[in-house]
Amino acid sequence: MNAATAIDRIAASHARLAPRLAGGPEWARRRGRALETLVGRGLPGRRDENWKYLDHARLAGYDFGVGSRTAVDPAALARARLPLAGARRLVILDGRFEEALCGGEPLDGVTHDDIDALLGREPAAALDLLRLPADDADDRFAVMADAFTDGGVVIRIAAGSAPPRPLHLLHVTSAVRPAAHHARLVIEVGAGAKLVLVEEFLSLGDAPVFANLAAELAVGASADVEHLRLHRQNAAAAQVETWVARLDAAGSYRQHLVVLGGRLIRSNFRLALDGEAAACRLAGLFMADGERQVDIHTQVEHCAPRTRTEQDFRGIATGRGRGAMNGRIVMRPAARGADASQTIRNLLLSPLAEINARPQLEIHVDDVRCRHGATTGTLDPVQLFYLRSRGLDEATARSLLTFAFCQDVLAGMPLPAVRDFVATQVADILPDVELMREQA
Amino acid sequence: MSGEQQIMLDVRDLKVRAGERLILDGLSLAVRAGEVHAIMGPNGSGKSTLTGVLAGRPGLEVLSGSATYFGRDLLAMPPEIRAREGLFLAFQYPVEIPGVNNVYLMKASLNALRKHRGEPELDAFEFLNLVRARLAAMRMDETLLNRGVNEGFSGGEKKRNEILQMSLLEPTLALLDETDSGLDIDALKLVADGVNALRSPSRAIVLVTHYQRLLDYVVPDQVHVLAGGRIVRSGGRELALELERRGYDWVQDGTAAA
């Protein structure tokens, strides 16, 4: 199957679905325009600079027919999800907000709104609220999400509030049959608020599902956000996500992205440091084992003085796994005194594994500091020999060094429960599980 | 006396290449249980290659000759099997491994050896008691246990960490590759104490060193001078003192003359 037939299937699904969606004529027009744009642009292909490492044939092989929501057993979800005691839990199931699966004590200062309900209730307000897609050729999947806008959630954190417990946002697919799901997400963090947000992507079944998320994040002045993002979909799943985020003055945002699941994961994260002294830290760890393909693109735009970026990405590929890490940092003329550092380190554990790292710095102002470094290599033979000379067999030594490679990103995670869980998940992927568990 | 003992390590006419360079050029050495051997030699004479090839360091190619350990072909064993069979190498430059916990490695290591010998593995509690006692003997700070392996350790701390591992693993054949270099006199004495504590009729120790200073504290049974990839002179303790007095040029000239 090629991209053209995929577009045809997407258009056919749209034609079947669109008349049944909420939002009245203005939303019908908006979805129609988005579909036109998408069909006009087509799906990205190998000639698109920012998409050239993606396996387009693999992507085109997914069923783009939007599936209906399947009821899931809350107990099955409880077993599958991250055990996060005390957290407030919000759930998007098969692309739509699912109140019945939400749980945990509500958090003071945190409110949410079901986008499906909002479309029916206040379609005009929803038009203003859901601003994506931006007019960027790279946002085709956001345009696709716009064309299928149906469900999702808006989350607001009141200015000055500091919820004492984390907010756990789950993106769940029932995955009982091949299907596509599109979801919208808007997160608004008020000025001075403090939030710990744990996002988790899960599939409950084994079917190959294409999930598409278009998300917007606004972090207010002096607000502080820790954002843990954990992809643990089934080994058949495809996930594309497009984030557009902005930070106001003195806002602080720290993201910890971990990709351990899925068959094809494409993450686009675009962040504008709009206010003076806004600061972000983006840390990431992905494991492309088996046949998994992970394609991570970040773009941070420094648009104000004294803004700061720190990036630390680690990728591991083994088996026939493939990864790509593209980190773009732009220093706009207003970004005087800005500071950015970017580290990309990749580890290849098998001869067929592949990772492409591409740091991109674009500097339009003199008075800034930028540092970046990208390395892709194999395990250090001297370290391997040292461990083996202490009696550890080669497989154990390799696992231990691979685990060690992940440690910096794991150590930076704020919630010990999540950190330990992720460490165990990483250890489970590596051979010699028992030993690794202990080290974890 | 030692002549009656079985030869533990028997290296014969060993030729070893690293890349294009021939480093060991027909080296022979016999070490019996209970003995301490010191191998001295100028920089570049092949000292580290000798300990490396015996421990199984990658990147060294054996061209000819043999090395047996209790009659078994040492060079055919993977490095971890050599370690489990009781061979220990204290590295000249102990490797930093951030992200691998120091005490975890020691426990995994000791238990790998115990398992190989058919002994029960130590649990976390038993192990911690053992390691604490050894740590105190090495006058090492307990915080070093929970750091990454050698991560951010000073030069002296790294060397002491090697001796700490050695004292835990209680090797049958210990190879120490310039463990004394870069140590102040107090650290040198601690290292020497660690080595002397290991001395026993059933064990053997090979000390590779550039200076004879360590030999003031660990008195060797035999001293060998390594030059040009082979042992050019062997003798007792007095050979080390003579080397100290006359310098390596003396033996190198001697080689040329021989």
Measured CA to CA, the distance from residue B89 to residue B213 in angstroms comes to 20
CB contact under 8 A, A383 and B108: no
Identify whether A83 is preceded by a cis peptide bond (ω within 30 of 0): no
pLDDT band at B258 (very low <50, low <70, confident <90, very high): very low
Bridge partners of B205? B36, B174
Q: How far is CA B65 from the centre of its chain?
A: 21
- In sequence order, the 6+-apart residues with CB closer than 8 A to the CB of A358 are A324, A325, A326, A327, A374
Give the gap in angstroms from C-alpha B45 to the nearest C-alpha of chain A. Answer: 21
Mean pLDDT value across residues B67-75: 97
Give the gap in angstroms from C-alpha A425 to the nearest C-alpha of chain B. Answer: 17
- Crossing angle between the packed helical segments B248-257 and B237-246, to the nearest 10 degrees: 100
Residue B209 per-residue DSSP state: E
CB contact under 8 A, A396 and B95: no
Measured CA to CA, the distance from residue B106 to residue B149 in angstroms comes to 9
Give me the phi and psi of A395, to 5 degrees please: -65, -45
B163 contacts chain A (CB < 8 A): no
Question: Under a CB-based contact definition with an 8 Å cutoff, are residues A199 and A227 in contact?
Answer: yes
CB contact under 8 A, A381 and B97: no
**DSSP strand pairing (A293-302 vs A264-273):** parallel
Measured CA to CA, the distance from residue A240 to residue A297 in angstroms comes to 11
pLDDT digits (tens, 9 = 90+) for B224-248: 999 999 999 999 999 998 888 888 8
Which parts of A118-263 are beta strand (E)?
A: 152-157, 167-173, 179-189, 194-203, 209-219, 224-232, 238-247, 252-259
Contacts of A385 in chain B (CB under 8 A): 56-58, 79
Give the gap in angstroms from C-alpha A396 to the nearest C-alpha of chain B. Answer: 10
**What interface predicted TM-score (ipTM) does this complex get?**
0.95
**Which domains does chain B possess?**
2-257 (3.40.50.300)
Query: Exposed (0-12), middle (13-18) or buried (19+): which is A176, by Cβ within 10 Å?
Result: middle
Give me the phi and psi of B103, to 5 degrees please: -70, -30
- b/e per residue A348-385 (b: at least 16 CB within 10 A): bbeeebbbbbbbeeebeeeebebeeebebeebeeebbb
> Which DSSP string corresponds to B107-158?
HHHHHHHHHHTTPPPP-HHHHHHHHHHHHHHTT--GGGGGSEETTT--HHHH
pLDDT digits (tens), chain A, 440 positions? 455 589 999 999 999 999 999 999 999 999 999 999 999 999 998 888 899 999 999 999 999 989 888 889 999 999 999 999 899 999 999 999 999 999 999 999 999 999 999 999 999 999 999 987 766 767 899 999 999 999 999 999 999 999 999 999 999 999 999 999 999 999 999 999 999 999 999 999 999 999 999 999 999 999 999 999 999 999 999 999 999 999 999 999 999 999 999 999 999 999 999 999 999 999 999 999 999 999 999 999 999 999 999 999 999 999 999 999 999 999 999 999 999 999 999 999 999 999 999 999 999 999 999 999 999 999 999 999 999 999 999 999 999 999 999 988 999 999 999 999 999 888 888 865 455 555 55
Of A248, A266, A247, give the one whose Cα is nearest residue A50: A266
**Lateral strand order in the sheet of B36-40:** B87-90, B173-177, B204-209, B36-40, B222-227, B230-235
Measured CA to CA, the distance from residue A231 to residue A320 in angstroms comes to 19
Question: Under a CB-based contact definition with an 8 Å cutoff, are residues B207 and B4 in contact?
Answer: no
What Rg value do the Cα atoms of chain B yield, rounded? 18
Tokens representing A167? 């907010």
**Per-residue confidence (pLDDT) for residue B181, from 0 to 100:** 86
Give the gap in angstroms from C-alpha B12 to the nearest C-alpha of chain A. Answer: 23
Tokens representing A186? 């808007």
Q: For B92, which residue in chain A has the nearest alpha carbon?
A: A386
Enclosing H/E stretch for A87: none
Which parts of B36-96 are beta strand (E)?
A: 36-40, 60-69, 72-73, 87-90
Of B79, B97, B148, which is closest to A389 when you measure between CB atoms? B79
Bridge partners of A59? none
Of chain A, the end-to-end C-alpha distance in Å amounts to 43
A residues 394-423 closer than 8 Å to B (CB) = 394, 396-397, 400-401, 403-408
Query: Exposed (0-12), middle (13-18) or buried (19+): which is A178, by Cβ within 10 Å?
Result: middle
Give me the phi and psi of B66, to 5 degrees please: -145, 160
Of chain B, the end-to-end C-alpha distance in Å amounts to 30
Contacts of A426 in chain B (CB under 8 A): none
Which 3 state secondary structure label does DSSP give A187?
A: strand
